[in-house]
Amino acid sequence: MIHKPVLVKEVLEYLDPKENENFIDATVGGAGHAIEILRKNGPSGRLLGIDLDKDQIENSRLSLSDFNERIVLVHDSYSNIKEVVKNVNLRPVDGILLDLGFSSWHLEEAGRGFSFQKDEELDMRYNNKNGLTAQIIVNEYPEEKIEEILRNFGEEKFARQIAKKIIDQRKFKKISSTFELKNIIQEAISKKFHYGKIHFATRTFQALRIAVNKELDNLNEFLPQSIEILSKGGRLAIISFHSLEDRIVKHFLKEAEDSGHIKILTKKPIIASDKEILTNPRARSAKLRAIIKI
């Protein structure tokens, strides 16, 4: 499956890449956005691509082979962006993109249990050097901790019932696979809630993925660094996919604007057009916010 980047036209509009400017794609993934930026910032503008997933660095290297002399790809977390920029000596930084969505590749090909549609081992790590997996959480964490993760990171209203069912189940057998977990969630939730607008397992899987990869912590660490390393007049665009992320971004940007460091370019988050959602359903929940450093 080819990963389709979301809101490409809008990202280019707000980042506004020009000849010879330098950009950072802080979650480069399959390089869908990066290619479009590199088409605009030639002949000598550079692009630094960062990704926590080593396999995605290799995927993006293949996708960006036409731009080899202008790219630097680094296997690291975007939460270390300041250190990475220092190490690769990228100056000035004219724009930064952070796309917080995980790619179609993770769902279809990674084989790490990101999707409840495929029967895979419960892993959910972007970086396999990370010691924590989703399997460890569901099999070893106490009930109240599991409930807290589901409620705080998944906004799951049935967090208590699901956590209790996980504990009941693991007394008899270790929970190893995505389908085992999906069946537990299904049993924990009343039948009338099995057919809502979003799949009944979505929030639990989201919560576990966020917990395993410390996604909200990473975002909180990234935000102040991103403003610091941007050059004056530089732009930052962030795409989030659920309310937890968007809330963090919104509040941080509001405070930064009130402090006089930035100007917010998107008074309301930019969302995908109906046309884009038809061809790329993942775009449905995407929200783009952008700023300029003053």
80 shares its domain with 119: no
User: Do residues 19 and 45 touch, judged by C-beta distance below 8 A?
Assistant: yes
Last residue of a domain, one of 213, 238, 261: 213
25 shares its domain with 93: yes
77 shares its domain with 144: no
What is the C-alpha radius of gyration for the chain, rounded to an integer number of angstroms?
A: 20
29 shares its domain with 164: no
Q: pTM for the complete prediction?
A: 0.93
**pLDDT score at 111:** 75
220 shares its domain with 87: yes
118 shares its domain with 42: no
121 shares its domain with 85: no
192 shares its domain with 71: no
**pLDDT score at 180:** 98
Here the CATH number for the domain that contains residue 242 is 3.40.50.150
**pLDDT score at 191:** 84
Q: How far apart are CA 7 and CA 12, in angstroms?
A: 9
**pLDDT score at 288:** 98
Interval 92-151: pLDDT, tens: 999 999 999 876 655 666 678 999 999 999 999 998 888 999 999 999 999 999 999 999
Here the CATH number for the domain that contains residue 115 is 1.10.150.170
Domain membership of residue 3 (yes or no) is no
Q: Residues near 79 by Cβ (< 8 Å), separated by ≥ 6?
A: 217, 218, 219, 221, 222, 225
**pLDDT score at 163:** 98
**pLDDT score at 101:** 85
**pLDDT score at 230:** 98
177 shares its domain with 252: no
Last residue of a domain, one of 166, 190, 213: 213
196 shares its domain with 250: no
**pLDDT score at 110:** 63
91 shares its domain with 230: yes
| Cα atoms in the Cβ-side hemisphere of radius 13 Å centred on 83 | 9
What's the structural domain count of the chain?
Answer: 2
**Residue 246 domain boundaries:** 8-106+216-293
Residues (pLDDT < 50) of the chain are 1-2
Residue with tokens 């604007």: 257
Q: Is 22 helix (H, G, I), strand (E, B) or coil?
A: coil
**pLDDT score at 107:** 61
Domain membership of residue 287 (yes or no) is yes
Last residue of a domain, one of 213, 239, 274: 213
240 shares its domain with 277: yes
Range 199-211 burial, b when 16+ CB lie within 10 A, else e:
ebbbbbbbbbbbb
Domain membership of residue 2 (yes or no) is no
**pLDDT score at 3:** 62
| Cα atoms in the Cβ-side hemisphere of radius 13 Å centred on 206 | 21
